Amino acid sequence: MLLIRCPWCGLREQAEFSCGGEAHIVRPLKPDELTDEQWADYLFMRDNTKGWQTEQWVHSGGCRRWFNAQRDTVTYKFGISYKHTDPKPEDGD
Amino acid sequence: MNQKNRLPTGGQIDRSQPVSFQFNGRTYGGYTGDTVASALLANDVKLVARSLKYHRPRGIMGSGAEEPSALLQVNRGARSIPNLRATQTEIYDGLKVSSVNCWPSVSLDALSLMNWLSPFLQAGFYYKTFMYPRKGWMFYEKVIRRAAGFGKVSSEPDPDRYDKINAWCDVLVVGGGPTGLAAALGAARAGARVMLADEGQQFGGGFLRTESEDNLQWVSDVLRELEEFSEVRLFKRTTVAGYYDGNFLVLNERLTDHLGNATTRNAREKIWRVRAKQVVLSTGAIERPLVFASNDLPGVMLSSAVSDYINRYAVKPGQNAVIFTNNDTAYRSALHMLDNGVGVGALVDARTEISDPLFDKLAHRGVKMMKGSVVVRAQGKKSVSAVEVMRLSADGKSLEGTPEKFDCDLLAVSGGWSPAVHLHAQSGAKPVFDDEKACFVPGPAFQNEISVGAASGNFSAEKAVSDGYQAGISAAHSAGCQVVDLPVIQEVSDAYTSEYAIRPLWQVPGSGSSDRLKRFVDFQNDTTVKDIKIAVQEGYQSIEHLKRYTLLGFGTDQGKLGNINGMAILSEELGQDLIQTGTTTFRPFYTPVTFGAIAGREIGPTFFDPVRKTAMHDWHVEHGAEFENVGQWKRPWYYPKSGETMDQAVNRECLAVRKQVGVIDASTLGKIEIYGPDAAEFLNYVYTNSWSNLPVGSCRYGLMLGEDGMIMDDGVTAKLGDNHFYMTTTTGGAAAVLSWMERWRQTEWPSMRVYFTSVTDQWAVISIAGPKAREILTKVAPTLDASNDQFPFMTFRDSVVASVEARIFRVSFSGELSYEINVPSDCGKDVWEKVFEAGMEFGITPYGTETMHVLRAEKGFIIVGQDTDGSMTPVDMGMSWIVSKNKDCLGKRSLSRSDCIREDRKQFVGLLTEDPNKVLPEGAQLVELPTDARPTPMIGHVTSSYFSASLGRSIALAVVKGGKSRMGARIHSILMTGESVPVSICNPIFYDREGERQNV
Amino acid sequence: MKKYSVFTLARHALDRRKSWSRAWRDPSPKTSYDVVIVGGGGHGLATAYYLASEHGINNIAVVEKGWIGGGNTGRNTTIVRSNYLWDEAAHLYEKSLVLWESLSQELNFNVMFSQRGVMNLGHNLQDMRDIYRRSNANMLNGIDSEILTPQQISEIVPIMNTSPYARYPVLGASFQRRGGIARHDAVAWGFARAADKLGVDVIQNCEVTGIRRNNGKVEGVETTRGFIGARKVGVVAAGHSSVIAEMAGIRMPIESHPLQALVSEPIKPILHTVVMSNAVHGYISQSDKGELVIGAGVDSYLGYGQRGSFSTIEGNIAAIVELFPIFSRVRMLRHWGGIVDVCPDACPIISKTSVDGLYFNCGWGTGGFKATPGSGWVFAHTIARDEPHHLNAAFGIDRFVSGALINEHGAAGVAH
């Protein structure tokens, strides 16, 4: 039962959010030029970090906006939440 | 009513309210305020239960949540509850309870012969046998299952209901003993919003078991002050059951069980979902039993429980007691016994150095004080009748001297105290071992919590109050409360203050006479010292292996009494420190919580999941529709006329649409408004086809793929204006498509100027289809020129229908001339009725989803999710025409992966059975040739299958490996019945292949 | 080592001087092995056992960072079935089920495999299409399968709410009678004991911290108890597969999610089959001890914490009470989370890797327990022969490049 900080709405209940997984996976601009391996890496391969990772969340039961948040995947503690337009911060805590 | 062991005065019971209740069919008396345990003891009932494995006689050992053995079946019939602890079940007039797990009765239990078989039943015996014959386990298991389990579940649905509530507070105080009360007061005075919860029927905790009137006065003074704060909420009978991330705690409040059958219709229990800024854990400590031979006999009781029964319930749990301890706390109990007419023959203390001021006092009152000694064995058949005492060697490893025997009917034991660190550990923190106090104490906090009082290993009442008060104040301040300069708390005094001194004693060494007797560690699961030794011998040496192999701590008490002793004995066996052994994980809940309470109101036809109904729902009901659940929606499935079967109704509806006209409620389709200058470009990304050149006023069919190239959703989208589109999605996919688009727009293409709004619920959709559709439309929309020239296929018009502003889309999912009339939802039913009225002269027929499916299948139109399953590409579905070669779109790159370009992928085809009346089951698998060989290779399956009234025969859609190049091939379906049905592969469009009917 | 039987049990019962020997030794790691298996769960131990028993490789170590069976082997809801939709999955799980049927005798350790039947409920028309499709596929694959009407369901499980007026009425079910449950811990212990007997070193409290490679070939594993050389390394470390993969410089299509489960207090026998429902999400069986063992969902976020999540179980319990109204007054004892490796297609990876001599077995998602013996059996083959058995040929890591996924997600199979 996490408490999650939406950069627009502040701290809210986990029930209002959905997690979108690892953040900063950029869709290739020219998929046609990729090999199958490179495309598979974008499509399926994940760091699946144990520890601090940056992930996408959406305030689905609130402002419906997506944002990035740092979270420790072991302790479930959150670091900074930030908008997509903000630069990627250093790892949390 | 004879309550032989009831003291004439005192206690917290209400003597003005006598109560009678039944235990195992016999009627007993007690008072309001009694638990079943205290009332049974008052009536001199000692044998209340049988143990799980050996069916040994068991009595009442504790007075609270720690009680391992005295489990009850409470009530009969629909309100029956299994496994309640006698020590926590309050009595009321007419209560019926019985022992569990014994037959025919608790005193004459047939399975007590298991005790004699116990050498065969040691730890893990079932892993070593019951293996033959190979199928034998199914038989053995039946027998074992019957012997296992405790109470019975009621055979009727639960007549009670349950509530849930969300709440927050600055400070949640867990446990309403002196420490918790002081903490709540401190926090309240500091200005905090406070919740104080105690699992019992009364606040006061440890003070209720003291003899001191002053202490009780202190409790009521504090309570009175707390009640004056408007932001303080006091919860009795409320267990803080779980402690989760984000300082979220779950409280289980029991509201009506103690009121008996006179209950109101109020909720039986309530779950409080609480966010607390700060948590004060004043959960107290649990006294440990001692481990010696036959330490499970009824009459062996924790010393704290003895005091509880005497002082709180005014019950003498015995007449002649012996006390066995390794620490100071039992000395107070000795005094309580002596002061209330319980004889104390001997006080056996494992320690040799004793500084307790009560030592001399007790000796003076005639108690035989035996230092450095231990009880090696309890004697007695169905309850304790005597104990054997010997001297303990200096190293604690062996016994000295000869046994001395004392007669007694009560043995009060105290093996020291274990702070109730359960919630602390659940919060994510790790308890640490305190060698001095021989117990686990809270470690560094992981969340915003602090343990205080006995829960932190501080067993002194005076300090507990002042510490609790300070903890409450600082918790309030941490939560942002500002009030400072608070008065000091009213002090409590204790006439017999002593330091807590303990000689750790995890097990009494074996003596000759007691070696063969069982020494229990976990009373509920019958785990003995010998079981632990066997587990260690066999290599089950991790504490988790030990737990799982011997069931230590696996019971409904979750090892509240036995775990620490068990871990220590394991450590001794392995010659390692307790801290190396570690604890098992403390899991929620602290004590069990009723399923019904966790489910709350979210069950039943109305509340299990929201029911979504369209604006025209009532009309459908009035016209006899059968409904189908589609996601949360109720959709009319078909409209049987009286006497009609489903097939007859569907055939009639189908023919009506093909020959005259039908009307269907299409409101459930997802509808999304898309605005913005980049809307068309955005659609180019999410749809496979191009949207750049679509003229305003036109509609186009679009297909969406996941990034893996598989079909995700489809629907028609109209261009309402230069920067304005209106998208429809499948009924089930509406929410997913909206989030999908939002996600891409926000996270990947944030600079795109395009916005989405769900309008599914805003528009009711009345879809008329059939040759007469235009005539109806012209009647209801007189201002509209509905001619084919002015309003051609795949366009839309704004108009007025039945006096309501409407958007009309000329699209078709049936292949017929068809109009989808969109009107604001609140006008939906009215317009529907007007359309229906206008259509009467043309034979308008309402039709449901089944007919819709048949009509679209005749046309070979796919339904995403039925004809596709997340593994089908547009190419597989014969829709490569819709994937634009001139642009990228989501999922497109995946289509050129090696597996996606295989020729022999499953491809979308039509099927015709040789017997035109045979309708294949949907989902049926397809094979080349009928064969009895198993496994046999499958080449595809039927995705849709109907009887087509228009064609006068059955039709089916399917996906078949390489199907597109196998037109006309004869393959087979082998049904679940074994029947083999020959079919031929054909084009999936069965009706009006040129698509002329929708263009008229 | 003594054989377990009712006779040895009796001899020990009657002769108090007799003591049981260790079920498995507690060896220190040798400097090198032919094969090192990383992960002492059921799958890893089974792999070691079958390497020794089927492939004659005995110089094997299983290294486990904690205690054997301490991961998902000891945290799951113990369901065993093989009624999967896709051929590749069905054949693999059926192999496993066949091994389950004689596993107690094979290992001389009672794993209490109870073939009490597994029922998958259908609550809407699409569920029923999927049930027919899957059952029909099972039948043609030689896997036992039946389709039940609500009436037949009521006869087998009379306590289930099959009312047509329920929010999502039960319309039917698939039923695999050979499916059931087993005693989860016993599977790890039984494989450990049997493998140990064949010379396998089961090494607990030994955490792998690195995979040593040279020229694209594996040389051994760095551990908290020193370097252990190995010609081949098989990784079966569910929950932590990505962590180990990273040590070897391999990227995996895996996310680790917490999976929630819970048990009630023990009650007298009341539910005699396994019941699973997708639409009304939850699955339930009753253990031999009497507890209702209930599986809930996977938390949507990635997580390595084995903590229980209340919000997940709230919905799960509501589903169970909806299906079984009489369980409303039963009380929930305990809940917890496991960490499951989830692949995009809900099917495992049992595969060679780009590193010579390094093999991975992971991504079982929520369905790993039932596959334990079969998974070990094919993985042993893959390691011993350096090529997959035909049963796991489709489960290569390369399928994520080619697109040849085995889409059990899209299929009707209930998550688990």
Do the chains contact at A44 and C253, CB–CB below 8 Å? yes
Q: Which of residues 564-603 of B touch C (CB under 8 A)?
A: 585, 587-589, 592-596, 598-600, 602-603
Which chain B residues contact residue A36 at CB under 8 A? 897-898
Predicted pLDDT at C414: 36
Predicted confidence (pLDDT) at residue B208 exceeds the cutoff of 70? yes
**How far is B299 from chain C, CA to nearest CA, in Å?**
26
Q: Quick count: other Cβ atoms within 10 Å of Cβ B273? A: 21
Residue B742 tokens, joined: 């939002």
Mutating which of A45, A48, A76 best tests the C interface, going by the most C Cβ atoms within 10 A?
A: A48
DSSP B148-207: S--B---SS-----EEEEEEEEEEEEE--SHHHHHHHHHHHHTT--EEEE-SSSSS-GGG
Predicted confidence (pLDDT) at residue A91 exceeds the cutoff of 60? no
Predicted confidence (pLDDT) at residue B1 exceeds the cutoff of 80? no
What ipTM was predicted for this assembly? 0.96
**How far is C43 from chain A, CA to nearest CA, in Å?**
22
Do the chains contact at A50 and C242, CB–CB below 8 Å? yes
Closest residue in C to B591 (Cα) is C333
Predicted pLDDT at C415: 39
Q: Is the dihedral of CA C266, C271, C276, C279 positive or negative?
A: negative
Of A1, A45, A53, the CB nearest to C251: A45
Give chain A's domains with CATH numbers.
Answer: 3-83 (3.30.2270.10)
Residue A11 tokens, joined: 């701290």
Do the chains contact at A58 and B894, CB–CB below 8 Å? no
Do the chains contact at C334 and B602, CB–CB below 8 Å? no
Do the chains contact at B245 and C407, CB–CB below 8 Å? no
Contact yes or no for A50/A74 (Cβ under 8 A):
yes
Contact yes or no for B780/B663 (Cβ under 8 A):
no
**How far is C210 from chain B, CA to nearest CA, in Å?**
25
Do the chains contact at B743 and A58, CB–CB below 8 Å? yes
B826: helix, coil or strand? helix
Nearest CA to C245 among C34, C39, C35, C32? C39
Do the chains contact at C242 and A19, CB–CB below 8 Å? no
Do the chains contact at A66 and B746, CB–CB below 8 Å? yes
Which chain C residues contact residue B563 at CB under 8 A? none
Predicted confidence (pLDDT) at residue B497 exceeds the cutoff of 80? no
Do the chains contact at C288 and B148, CB–CB below 8 Å? yes
Residue C331 pLDDT level (bands cut at 50, 70, 90): very high
Say if B9 is an interface residue toward chain C (CB within 8 Å).
no
How much is the pTM?
Answer: 0.96
Q: Which of residues 47-66 of A touch B (CB under 8 A)?
A: 56, 58, 60, 64-66
H or E element that contains C384 = helix C372-385
Which chain B residues contact residue A14 at CB under 8 A? 246
Of A46, A49, A50, the CB nearest to C253: A46
Do the chains contact at B743 and A75, CB–CB below 8 Å? no
Burial class from Cβ neighbours inside 10 Å (0-12, 13-18, 19+) for residue B785 reads exposed
Say if A25 is an interface residue toward chain C (CB within 8 Å).
no
Sheet holding C292-298, edge to edge: B593-594, C331-342, C255-264, C292-298, C282-286, C274-277, C118-122, C172-176, C146-148
Residue C281 pLDDT level (bands cut at 50, 70, 90): confident
> Which of B199-208, B604-613, C302-311 is predicted with the least confidence, judged by mean pLDDT?
C302-311
- B768-775 average pLDDT score: 98
Q: Where are the alpha helices (DSSP H) in C19-113?
A: 42-55, 87-101, 103-107
Which chain C residues contact residue A37 at CB under 8 A? 401
CA distances from B636 to B611, B639, B765, B838 (A): 14, 7, 14, 21
Residue C413 pLDDT level (bands cut at 50, 70, 90): very low
Which chain A residues contact residue C301 at CB under 8 A? 2, 19, 55, 71
Residue B141 tokens, joined: 């298991």
Of A3, A18, A34, the CB nearest to B246: A3
**Placement of tokens 């006096």 in the chain:** B803
Say if A71 is an interface residue toward chain C (CB within 8 Å).
yes
Residue C276 tokens, joined: 């699973």
Say if C242 is an interface residue toward chain A (CB within 8 Å).
yes
Predicted confidence (pLDDT) at residue B324 exceeds the cutoff of 80? yes
H or E element that contains B768 = strand B763-769
Do the chains contact at B150 and C290, CB–CB below 8 Å? yes
Say if B149 is an interface residue toward chain C (CB within 8 Å).
yes
Query: What is the C-alpha to C-alpha distance for residues C129 and B151, in angstroms, rounded to an integer?
Result: 40
**How far is B842 from chain A, CA to nearest CA, in Å?**
47
Predicted pLDDT at C267: 96
Q: Quick count: other Cβ atoms within 10 Å of Cβ B853? A: 22
Query: What is the C-alpha to C-alpha distance for residues C385 and C55, in angstroms, rounded to an integer?
Result: 9
Neighbours of chain C (3+ CB pairs under 8 A): A, B
Residue B577 tokens, joined: 């420190």
- Residue C335: which residues within 8 A CB-CB, separation 6 or more? B587, B588, B589, C260, C261, C262, C263, C296, C308, C313
Predicted pLDDT at B391: 97
Of B157, B158, B934, the CB nearest to C141: B934
Closest residue in C to A15 (Cα) is C311
H or E element that contains C342 = strand C331-342
Query: What is the C-alpha to C-alpha distance for residues B32 and B589, in angstroms, rounded to an integer?
Result: 28
Average pLDDT score over chain B: 95
One-letter-per-residue 3-state SS of B838-864: HHHHHCCEECCHHHHHHHHHHCCCCCC
Contact yes or no for B326/B416 (Cβ under 8 A):
yes
Predicted pLDDT at B156: 92
Predicted confidence (pLDDT) at residue C410 exceeds the cutoff of 60? no
- B700-721 average pLDDT score: 97
DSSP A15: G
- C279-289 average pLDDT score: 90
Backbone dihedral region for residue B16 (phi beyond 0: left; psi -120 to 50: alpha; all else: beta):
alpha
Predicted confidence (pLDDT) at residue A70 exceeds the cutoff of 90? yes
Do the chains contact at C8 and B128, CB–CB below 8 Å? yes
- C127-142 average pLDDT score: 97
- How large a percentage of chain C has pLDDT more than 70? 98
Predicted confidence (pLDDT) at residue B104 exceeds the cutoff of 60? yes
Neighbours of chain A (3+ CB pairs under 8 A): B, C
Of C256, C300, C301, the CB nearest to A48: C256
- Residue B26: which residues within 8 A CB-CB, separation 6 or more? none
Contact yes or no for A67/A6 (Cβ under 8 A):
yes
DSSP B461-472: HHHHHHHHHHHH
Do the chains contact at C305 and A14, CB–CB below 8 Å? no
Which chain C residues contact residue B544 at CB under 8 A? 67, 70, 74
Do the chains contact at B129 and C4, CB–CB below 8 Å? yes
Say if B830 is an interface residue toward chain C (CB within 8 Å).
no
| Three-point CA angle B719, B725, B730, nearest 5° | 105
Residue B262 pLDDT level (bands cut at 50, 70, 90): low
Of A27, A30, A39, the CB nearest to B748: A27
Nearest CA to C44 among C26, C23, C68? C68
Say if C249 is an interface residue toward chain A (CB within 8 Å).
no
Predicted confidence (pLDDT) at residue C412 exceeds the cutoff of 50? no
Say if A27 is an interface residue toward chain B (CB within 8 Å).
yes
